[in-house]
Structure 1
Amino acid sequence: MAVSSGVPPQAEQIRKVVEERLKQAEIENGAKVTVDWRGEQRHLYVISMPVDMLYYNPYTHRIRAQRTFDPERNRILEEDPWSDEAQAYLADLLRRRPSNPNHTDPDYLALVRELEEFGQREPGIISPDGIIVDGNTRCVALRELGIPNMRVGVLPSDTTLQDITSVELALQLRRDRRREYSYINRLIAIEEQLANGRSEEAVARDFNIRVKTLRQDRWVYALIREAIERSRTENGAQLRLVDFEEHQEKLRELQRDYAKKAATDPEAAERLKEARLAMVILNLPKTSLRYAEEDFHSRYLDERLPDELRDIDQEDVGSVAIPGLPGVSVPDTKAWAKAEKALTDKLLKAYATINRDPSAADAKSASALITKARDSFDLAVRLAGQNAQLRKRQVAVQERLSEAAEFIKQCATEYAEAKAKRALDEEAFDEALIQLRESLARLARQASRSAHEPGEGVKWLLETTRES
């Protein structure tokens, strides 16, 4: 099989065992498993293979993002994917939680219990060289349980790396009893399919999503890749794809709000993006991110940042004159955008430093910086939230009245129709009008307490509800 890293060292021996067992399965007309193979359905004979002869697939999308969790072990995996060290690293990652490879995945533990109690229900899929195409996690669990053999279907002898990828994705997207790919690994799989020349429509169809959703996810993936690049430090530290696994909903919401803003004000959209990306890095709640608009930094955050996180002083921002209005100017938003981008970069680099070696001296200072930043953002979010609530209360009254006016307007139309059809309940209508009068009187009592000179509308309300 032609792959970039060659074939497993025991490939020839494995092929002989596979061929012998396939011949026996054919003679016995044994069980088969069906896969999508080059645009058609292919039925594969199922055989039993020793788990010690099988190799975990280094190209599996299940842990593609997690591979960079340990840079040194990932280097070994890239240089020699069939070595004992590389295969052990793959086994470790397959056991771990995608969003945090420091912890065992509960789904993996559930799989171990199921195999121990019921045995292997569904066959895996392997290449003729013994590379596991589907069932990598099951193989890890079987080995852990000390079960010597695994039931597998075998792909045709001319299988390529592209075939392995296509079969794996097709099986995964069936979503039967398999663990779903993590968010970032799905993004990687989508990009790879597009890079292979497939259309967005075809890939979206395979992943059972709309083209619009696919494009939104591609924007998020590009943002993540950009953030990783921006996190690179002089000492070589850098964020990893796995660091963004738990932020799916935050990033998708960021994309939606960014797109809306960019349609009318691209510069404001960039400022919104920087504010919210910083908050994603600080792992603030999704509800907090919603308070970060394009003016969040300049209006609520900047003056509350410690000196080491401030890129410019407010007096350094400068101003821009408004054409046609002599003497009138506004703050230079481009300068603010530069400051906000610089702040996000500092936070990205700080987290990259912490991830590289949490016990190092520079990691401790980076951690202190993150703590100060989070405190500043928390305070700014509270202020922005209070202001948002105030604005909401300020417009609530008139919005309620506007809605009531629309309902009454509609009521007038329906009243005329009901009268014409002699379908109006006069008594019920009269009772409803009394309820309306009482509600208006209650509103008038509140409006009369205002210390301000009443406007035309308030005067009308007071006169209309004044008791004779």
Structure 2
Amino acid sequence: MNPAEIAETPGSSAVRTMVEARLEEARRAGGAPETVRVEWRGQPTNFKVVTVPLDDLLYNPETHRIRAQRSHDPVFDAKLAEDPWSKESQEYLHKLLQCKPDNPDATDPDFEKLKDDLKDYGQKDAGIITPSGILVNGNTRCAALRDLNKRDFRAAVLPATATWADIAAVELELQLRKDRRRDYSYINRLIAVHEQTSAGRTPAELAKAFRTTPKAIERDLWVYEFISEAIERSREELGGGGTTSLRLMDFEGHQETLSELHRSYHKAADTGKAEALRENRLLAIVLGTAKTKVRYVGHDFHNAYLVPKLGEEFAQPGKPADEAFSLPGLDLGEDLPLLGEEPDTLRARAFTDRVLKARARQAAASQLTAEEAAEARTVLDQVKDAVEQGVHEAEWVDRRAKRKSAAAKTLQEAAKLVSESTQQASQARSQDLMEHRALDDSLLELATALKKLSRVASRGVEEPGPGLSWLQDAVADL
């Protein structure tokens, strides 16, 4: 929508007349009128509250509450884009306002709690509307009150000069107040951060607005771009016409996994490993791998676990893997990266792309031919099984490596504690506060522990290293 204009809505003239009349009544009533205080074009401003009929209100099609979920039904989403004020479009918005962010076919328990609260206590907080009845804040409350068959809605009224940019700013400012009951979903928050950045706000400004840090804002922007790229890579033409792709809402529920990916990506030893990690984790996320398991998907996951199970030709059925990434005059056998990326990363990307497209097809099941549906199922089943087995093996390898180094790490910590004990003994001696008997008892406990460690560590070792040799000599006379 045009950020500077709000198009006329059905019956908007009559609604404006009614709203203005009720505002005038409130002004004449005297006393202290109810108001809602919001940040309006940079200044805290109080707007008067009036009671208006629920039937005269329109859901805001641009609300960030359900921005990602609009794509749940492509047909209705297209109708919504064409005419957001039609009965069908408004009914679609009503449904989405009730749904779970990650599953629009199910009702959100938080929505049911809101309905129960409104049923028991009524509308405690006023919403905000434009003079023509478009809901700026309170879309979900309006939906709940309508389900309860209520007739009226209390709302503050913005000035007639309000634009879509004003509406977005007010909605965001109110949503980020700490007293809001129902937060934006993760993906809708990312959308809001991206839109505010596109409007020219800096990470520092957004950090203040979202009550977070500039680093967190930069992470959110990175994740948004990561998801957007994955969606674009999943786009594919269907045999029966039209196209399909993944949607932003398909990434709801992956906040912790995506945040962890951002950290791991930027901690990677080099760019090649970072990009390979990015591809492998994306593959795992798209397949719905549990967040507690995704951490075992490393930069080498493709070569170590997927290729042995699926074969390199999986990326390009019917083509040798190297052929898929070759350019005239460039041999992938050379130590030269293709387009700035390593061949291993490109092959991992080809694997991921095939899965992205299969997931996108699965989401558009009603538009698929029987052959397309069967192929998508086969691809997803094969890769999901390979990933599950690979994660299980990678987890076992990780745990085994930790067990191997556990004793050494514990001794490193013990060495630090001995150093601290030395400093404490020195301080106590300088102040004539040394407890010699207690120290002597502790040293005997240490000697006993070292003797046991020497026996265990020496088993099966024919040529001990300098550390173990020292320990054997140290405890020999104990």
TM category, shorter: over 0.9
* Aligned counterparts of 2:17 and 2:169: Cα–Cα separation in 1: 25
Identity across the alignment (%):
41
Stretch of structure 1 that moved more, 23-32 or 298-307: 298-307
SS class of match (1:246): coil
**Alignment partner of 1:191 is 2:194:** yes
Stretch of structure 1 that moved more, 299-308 or 143-152: 299-308
**Alignment partner of 1:90 is 2:93:** yes
Let me know the Cα RMSD of the aligned residues: 2.3
Instruction: Give the alignment of 1:138-149 within 5 angstroms.
Output: 138-149=141-152
**Which position in structure 1 is the counterpart of 2:158?**
155
SS class of match (1:203): helix
Contact 2:315–2:354, Cα closer than 8 Å, also in 1: no
**Which position in structure 1 is the counterpart of 2:452?**
442
* Aligned counterparts of 2:8 and 2:76: Cα–Cα separation in 1: 20
* Aligned counterparts of 2:29 and 2:452: Cα–Cα separation in 1: 87
Shift of 1:3: 5.4
SS class of match (2:153): strand
Residue number among 391, 402, 407 corresponding to 2:417 in the alignment? 407
Where structure 2 has 5 or more consecutive residues not aligned to the other structure, the ranges are 326-331
Q: Residue type matched to 2:295 in 1? A: R
Shift of 1:416: 2.4
Shift of 1:199: 2.1
Contact 1:18–1:128, Cα closer than 8 Å, also in 2: yes
Shift of 1:94: 0.4
Residue number among 471, 474, 477 corresponding to 1:461 in the alignment? 471
Where structure 1 has 5 or more consecutive residues not aligned to the other structure, the ranges are 323-332
Q: Residue type matched to 2:362 in 1? A: I
* Aligned counterparts of 1:2 and 1:443: Cα–Cα separation in 2: 72
Q: Residue type matched to 1:381 in 2? A: V
**Which position in structure 1 is the counterpart of 2:247?**
240
Task: Deviation per CA, 1:49-88: give whole Å up to 9, x if none.
Answer: 1111111111111011111111110110001111111111
* Aligned counterparts of 1:247 and 1:417: Cα–Cα separation in 2: 52
Task: Deviation per CA, 1:203-229: give whole Å up to 9, x if none.
Answer: 110001100110011000000000000
Instruction: Give the alignment of 1:313-392 within 5 angstroms.
Output: 334-357=342-365, 360=368, 361=370, 362-392=372-402
**Which position in structure 1 is the counterpart of 2:9?**
8
Contact 2:283–2:352, Cα closer than 8 Å, also in 1: yes
SS class of match (1:133): strand
Task: Provide TM-score, normalisation by structure 2.
Answer: 0.90
SS class of match (1:61): coil
Shift of 1:408: 2.1
SS class of match (1:62): coil
Aligned residue pairs total 457
Contact 1:353–1:366, Cα closer than 8 Å, also in 2: yes
Contact 2:126–2:154, Cα closer than 8 Å, also in 1: yes
SS class of match (2:37): strand
* Aligned counterparts of 1:174 and 1:359: Cα–Cα separation in 2: 42
Stretch of structure 1 that moved more, 183-192 or 126-135: 183-192
Instruction: Give the alignment of 1:40-439 within 5 angstroms.
Output: 40-235=43-238, 236-261=243-268, 264-305=269-310, 309-311=314-316, 334-357=342-365, 360=368, 361=370, 362-439=372-449
Contact 2:69–2:104, Cα closer than 8 Å, also in 1: yes
Q: Residue type matched to 2:119 in 1? A: E
Shift of 1:186: 0.9
* Aligned counterparts of 1:447 and 1:177: Cα–Cα separation in 2: 59
* Aligned counterparts of 1:135 and 1:459: Cα–Cα separation in 2: 74
* Aligned counterparts of 1:73 and 1:62: Cα–Cα separation in 2: 17
Task: Provide TM-score, normalisation by structure 1.
Answer: 0.92
* Aligned counterparts of 1:305 and 1:452: Cα–Cα separation in 2: 43
Dislocated runs of 4+, deviation >4 Å: 1-5, 310-322
* Aligned counterparts of 2:96 and 2:144: Cα–Cα separation in 1: 12
